[in-house]
Amino acid sequence: MPTLTYDFDAKETLLTAQDVVDNAPVDPNSYADQRSQFIAMREEKLFRAKFGMDFYKALLADKVKYSAVSGSGMTVYTNFQEGTTYAANAVVLYKNRLYKAKSNGTTQIPTNEGRWIVAPKFEDENYEYLWQRYLRTVLAFSVSNDSLFYRMVSDTPMGLLQKYEEGKTRPIKVQEAGRLKQQYQADIDDLIATMDAFLLENAEIFPDYLPTKNGCKSKNEYAKSKRRNLGFNTY
């Protein structure tokens, strides 16, 4: 019997449910606990279709590994405690987010931008810039769009009902969900196009990025296809 081969843990993702709440137009009370199961499948689907699996594996491999357990070989974090003085580079968990102290003697809450930064997602500063500027929003919007229908409806003995106020439902209007998903997808396409342009402009810095569009086999071929579609001479 063939042996299954895989390059990353089945539950490992770039995005967290909190990242979706922070970077997409979703209700924080309805999303984080209910829809995190969409993240792994949507991430892999997007990278297989758009960005290439080598790029996905490279990003996953470069993630900073955080742990609440000391001696794990990972970057250790603690739960933030008011009144505690933190040293520079200390990492704390505060309201489902990890923060890193910018200097010694930090006592303020982590939302104080003068004293704290959001703990980096990646070891490599170029990946971190990509994440902060583009990728987290692309992924968050994509995951939110995939789970949109399920957030809008309740499956009841009377059929599918749309949630429209706290504790209230009504028969679902499929057209409303369809229009909203179309707008989501248009925004996602724009975000991807912007990130794609940045990555192609910096191809030497991101060698694992290979957009899998239009049947192209290389970045040069892909860049030519984009120019051709715009009516430019590609020779």
pLDDT at 161: 58
pLDDT digits (tens, 9 = 90+) for 142-199: 988 877 665 665 555 555 556 555 655 555 566 766 777 788 889 999 999 999 999 9
3 vs 26, which has greater pLDDT? Answer: 26
Domains annotated for the chain, with CATH where assigned, are: 17-64+123-228 (no CATH), 65-119 (2.10.10.20)
Question: Where does the pLDDT of residue 230 fall: very low under 50, low under 70, confident under 90, or very high at 90 and above?
Answer: very low
Q: How many CB atoms lie within 10 A of CB 76?
A: 14
Q: How many helices (H) and strands (E) does the chain have?
A: 8, 8
pLDDT at 192: 95
- Residue 120 zone, left/alpha/beta (φ > 0; ψ -120 to 50; rest): beta
Task: Please check the confidence at residue 61 and state whether its pLDDT lies above 90.
Answer: yes
pLDDT digits (tens, 9 = 90+) for 79-117: 999 999 999 999 999 998 999 999 999 999 999 999 999
